[in-house]
């Protein structure tokens, strides 16, 4: 069966594209659209054409799976032009999302109508490319340069309402979209047709505009947003045809780039993550009411995340004071969301009304799932789980958010460990996308599946991790920091290491990040292990903490900080403290430094894979990208290392 079909209603031909899951524009779709445009042009009974899509969305873009292969004719820009040149006006009827090539096809149509919940956008930069079928050339002609720059460089879609306001679409249809689109098409035939988008004039903007936009686009840290901007700028100064040629060449160059390959790999890894093969047919247990024990940094963040996803939350604390603090933290999170325009005051009230608090574990009796986030101490945690065993329904899932403790030592406090698993959230838990899911040997399949289902509900990226110290992420972090310390011992300046990692794409280098989070947490952990007999050589961080340098909170760590200022300043006190540990080896350039550190991360990742702690290299990459700020456009340490080996 063809992906495209036509039916007729009076003088309107209704073309339906049905190419699951998201109606991506494959070779078959491109060929089919051209053939239909030819056929309908010759059909005297047809006055207008409505292009609609089956399933959950209008066209979500070019088929990303074709990007690794050579382009095949007809190319998408030619398809868009063919629709624009159709003798009968085409009307795009948009539901779901018209993205990238989907939006470009809509721009080839003479009109665009959408239902209220639809979105349109040019997300190509998120795949390391720029629009390749007139997105940077037609959009400024349709909606002006400024709106085009925002769409193409941010990659963020806009709502139907915003699209109507900026002239991207012609109408928001209330009620049935197809009926509305047909009515719109017939009404439009009563008036002279507007010019096709390609024939419309394009505005020019002064140098100051482009300079400002360039600074903004550069903030993303990688090439595609800058190239998208450059292409729009070119389009604002050249003919349509010249601009199309320029855009296409840039698109093809970027499509073949390392950044695009990395971003594509991440795109597919993220979509594969919530549905791992190992529990394909297992049904998760329901999780509508969630209990959270401990309302500190993590508990309050997890509560906010659950509430935002529409779940009911029961928060348990040690006493009324701690409970009030936890509740305030959740309130503050939502107040921040209101400030940023992400939540309304009424929305906040609704979310807060789904939160109840208690100091009595008996109030967890109706919960489907309970997540423990109390102090990182085995005796405290075991005590909590014994109480949970007494008070929770026997089928309720019980989870720990421990970072470093062995989940098996916690679960053994339960009568039935099959309902136990680790759910390792990252701080701030309402923001960070990563969720490491750590089963113990007894964890039931449907309990494990429920962890993944919860992640999906919360909009998180789930990764299954085996049991070892630090699971996947913190174990790699430890190796990364150790390698960074080795560089310092070899005589590389702390500030040079941080700068090199920022240059690589991290928001912060390893030492700045430790100063922000505090050096004492890892120190205490090492000390705890030493007290139990583990042989852990003294780290440079230990030397700093022992002399009172715990990071920003103590006025200094790896760097000095002036009062009330978070700017890290290289510290002569640190140089003195560490002098005896440092030998002066050869200096490294920034690429050599980042190479050393990312290779160390990848080597630890290899060990983790070999031990079966992670199931795939792409899972490790997702952990690093969504939990530790690894630059997405480098694909994660495992992808980066493989790319290096290939080149």
Q: What DSSP line would sit under 371-434, residue for residue?
A: EE---S-HHHHHHHHHHHHHHS-TT-EEEE--SSS-HHHHHTTSS-GGGEEEEEE-SSTTT--E
Show Cβ contacts of residue 534 under 8 Å, excluding neighbours closer than 6 positions.
Answer: none
Least Cβ distance, residue 258 to ligand NAI (angstroms): 32
Q: Is 401 in the site for ligand NAI (CB under 6 A)?
A: yes
Contact 643, 264 (CB under 8 A): no
Q: Which of 106, 113, 224, 293 binds ligand NAI (CB under 6 A)?
A: 293
State how far the Cα of 381 lies from the Cα of 387, in Å rounded to an integer: 10
Q: Which of 214, 318, 433, 553 binds ligand NAI (CB under 6 A)?
A: 318
For 213-226, letters b (16+ CB in 10 Å) and e give bbeebeebbbbbbb
331 catalytic per annotation: no
Least Cβ distance, residue 460 to ligand NAI (angstroms): 13
Q: Is 522 in the site for ligand NAI (CB under 6 A)?
A: no
Q: Considering only residues 426-455, where is the footprint of ligand NAI by CB under 6 A? A: 426-427
Number of C-beta neighbours around residue 358 at 10 A: 15
Q: Which of 12, 19, 52, 57 binds ligand 3HC (CB under 6 A)?
A: 57
Of 317, 424, 571, 594, which residue is the catalytic one? 424
Least Cβ distance, residue 323 to ligand NAI (angstroms): 9
Q: In the β-sheet with 171-173, what is the strand arrangement from edge to edge?
A: 4-9, 12-17, 48-53, 90-94, 111-115, 171-173
Least Cβ distance, residue 400 to ligand NAI (angstroms): 7
Q: Which of 298, 396, 423, 614 binds ligand NAI (CB under 6 A)?
A: 298
Structure tokens at 541: 């961080």
Choose the contact partner of 198 out of ligand 3HC, ligand NAI, none; CB within 5 to 8 A by kind: none
β-bridge mates for residue 424, sequence order: 436
Q: Is 49 in the site for ligand 3HC (CB under 6 A)?
A: no
Choose the contact partner of 347 out of ligand NAI, ligand 3HC, none; CB within 5 to 8 A by kind: none
Stretch that binds ligand NAI, among 113-121, 288-296, 485-493, 522-530 (CB under 6 A): 288-296
State how far the Cα of 439 lies from the Cα of 420, in Å rounded to an integer: 7
Q: Is 297 in the site for ligand NAI (CB under 6 A)?
A: yes
Q: Which of 170, 258, 317, 621 binds ligand NAI (CB under 6 A)?
A: 317
Structure tokens at 496: 């040079």
474 catalytic per annotation: yes
Q: Which of 74, 144, 221, 296 binds ligand NAI (CB under 6 A)?
A: 296
Q: Which of 294, 357, 462, 556 binds ligand NAI (CB under 6 A)?
A: 294
Helices (DSSP H) in 85-206: which residue ranges?
101-108, 135-143, 145-154, 160-165, 177-188
Nearer to ligand NAI, 131 or 357 (CB): 357
For 128-150, letters b (16+ CB in 10 Å) and e give bbbbbbbbbbbbbbbbebebbbb
β-bridge mates for residue 316, sequence order: 293, 358
Nearer to ligand NAI, 186 or 323 (CB): 323
187 catalytic per annotation: no
Structure tokens at 224: 């595609």
Q: Which of 81, 402, 514, 618 binds ligand NAI (CB under 6 A)?
A: 402
Choose the contact partner of 22 out of ligand NAI, ligand 3HC, none; CB within 5 to 8 A by kind: ligand 3HC
Query: Pairing state of beta strands 12-17 and 4-9?
Result: antiparallel
Q: Is 127 in the site for ligand 3HC (CB under 6 A)?
A: yes
Alpha-carbon torsion 546, 424, 469, 634, what sign? negative
Number of C-beta neighbours around residue 87 at 10 A: 11
Nearer to ligand NAI, 77 or 294 (CB): 294
List interacting residues with ligand NAI (CB under 6 A).
293-299, 316-318, 322, 373-376, 380, 384, 401-403, 425-427
Catalytic residues: 403, 424, 436, 474
List interacting residues with ligand 3HC (CB under 6 A).
21-22, 24, 56-57, 60-65, 76, 97, 99-101, 104, 123-124, 127, 131-133, 135, 268, 271
């Amino acid at each position: 069966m063809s992906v495209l079909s036509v039916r007729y209603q009076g003088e309107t031909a209704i073309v339906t594209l049905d190419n699951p899951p998201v109606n991506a524009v494959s070779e078959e779709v491109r060929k089919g659209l051209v053939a239909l445009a030819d056929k309908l042009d010759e059909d005297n009974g047809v006055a207008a054409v409505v292009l609609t899509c089956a399933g959950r969305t209008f066209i979500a873009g070019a088929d990303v799976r074709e990007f690794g292969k050579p382009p095949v004719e007809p190319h998408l820009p030619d398809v868009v032009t063919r629709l624009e040149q159709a003798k009968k006006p085409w009307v795009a009827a948009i539901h779901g999302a018209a993205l990238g090539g989907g939006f470009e096809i809509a721009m080839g149509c003479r009109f665009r109508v959408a239902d209220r919940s639809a979105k349109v956008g040019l997300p190509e930069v998120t795949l390391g490319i720029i629009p390749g079928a007139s997105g940077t050339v037609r959009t400024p002609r349709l909606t002006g340069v400024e709106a085009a720059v925002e769409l193409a460089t941010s990659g963020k879609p806009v709502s139907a309402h915003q699209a109507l306001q900026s002239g991207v679409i012609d109408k928001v249809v209330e009620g049935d979209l197809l009926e509305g689109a047909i009515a719109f098409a017939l009404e439009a035939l009563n008036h002279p047709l507007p010019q096709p988008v390609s024939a419309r004039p394009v505005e020019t903007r002064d140098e100051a505009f482009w300079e400002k936009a360039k600074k903004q686009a550069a903030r993303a840290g990688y090439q595609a947003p800058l190239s998208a901007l450059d292409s729009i700028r070119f389009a604002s100064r050249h003919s349509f045809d010249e601009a199309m040629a320029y855009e296409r060449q840039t698109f093809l160059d970027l499509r073949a780039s390392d950044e695009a390959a990395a971003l594509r790999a991440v795109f597919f890894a993220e979509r594969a993550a919530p549905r791992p093969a190992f529990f394909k047919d297992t049904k998760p247990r329901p999780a509508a009411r969630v209990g959270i024990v401990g309302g500190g940094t993590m508990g309050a963040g997890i509560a906010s995340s659950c509430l935002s996803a529409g779940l009911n939350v029961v928060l348990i604390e040690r006493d009324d004071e701690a409970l009030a603090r936890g509740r305030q933290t959740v309130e503050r999170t939502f107040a921040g969301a209101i400030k940023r325009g992400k939540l309304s005051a009424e929305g906040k009230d609704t979310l807060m009304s789904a939160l109840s608090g208690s100091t009595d574990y008996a109030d967890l009796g109706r919960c489907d799932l309970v997540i423990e986030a109390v102090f990182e101490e085995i005796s405290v945690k075991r005590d909590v789980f014994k109480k949970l065993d007494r008070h929770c329904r026997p089928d309720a899932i019980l989870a720990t958010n421990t970072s470093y403790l062995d989940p098996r030592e916690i679960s053994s406090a339960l009568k039935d460990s099959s309902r136990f698993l680790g759910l390792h959230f990252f701080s701030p838990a309402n923001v960070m996308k990563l969720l490491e899911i750590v089963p113990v040997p007894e964890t039931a399949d449907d309990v494990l599946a429920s962890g993944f289902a919860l992640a999906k509900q919360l909009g998180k990226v789930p990764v299954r991790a085996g049991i070892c110290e630090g699971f996947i992420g913190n174990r790699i972090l430890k190796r990364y920091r150790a390698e960074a310390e080795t560089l310092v011992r070899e005589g590389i300046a702390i500030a040079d290491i941080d700068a090199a990692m920022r240059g690589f794409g991290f928001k912060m280098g390893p030492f700045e990040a430790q100063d922000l989070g505090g050096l004492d947490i890892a120190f205490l952990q090492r000390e705890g292990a030493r007290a139990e007999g583990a042989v852990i050589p003294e780290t440079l961080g230990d030397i700093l903490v022992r002399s009172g340098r715990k990071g920003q909170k103590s006025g200094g760590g790896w760097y000095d900080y002036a009062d009330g200022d978070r700017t890290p300043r290289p510290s002569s006190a640190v140089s003195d403290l560490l002098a005896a540990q440092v030998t002066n080896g050869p200096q490294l350039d920034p690429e050599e430094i980042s190479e050393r550190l990312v290779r160390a991360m990848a080597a630890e990742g290899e060990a983790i894979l070999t031990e079966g702690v992670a199931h795939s290299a792409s899972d490790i990459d997702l952990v690093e990208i969504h939990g530790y700020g690894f630059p997405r456009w480098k694909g994660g340490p495992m992808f980066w290392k493989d790319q290096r080996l290939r080149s």
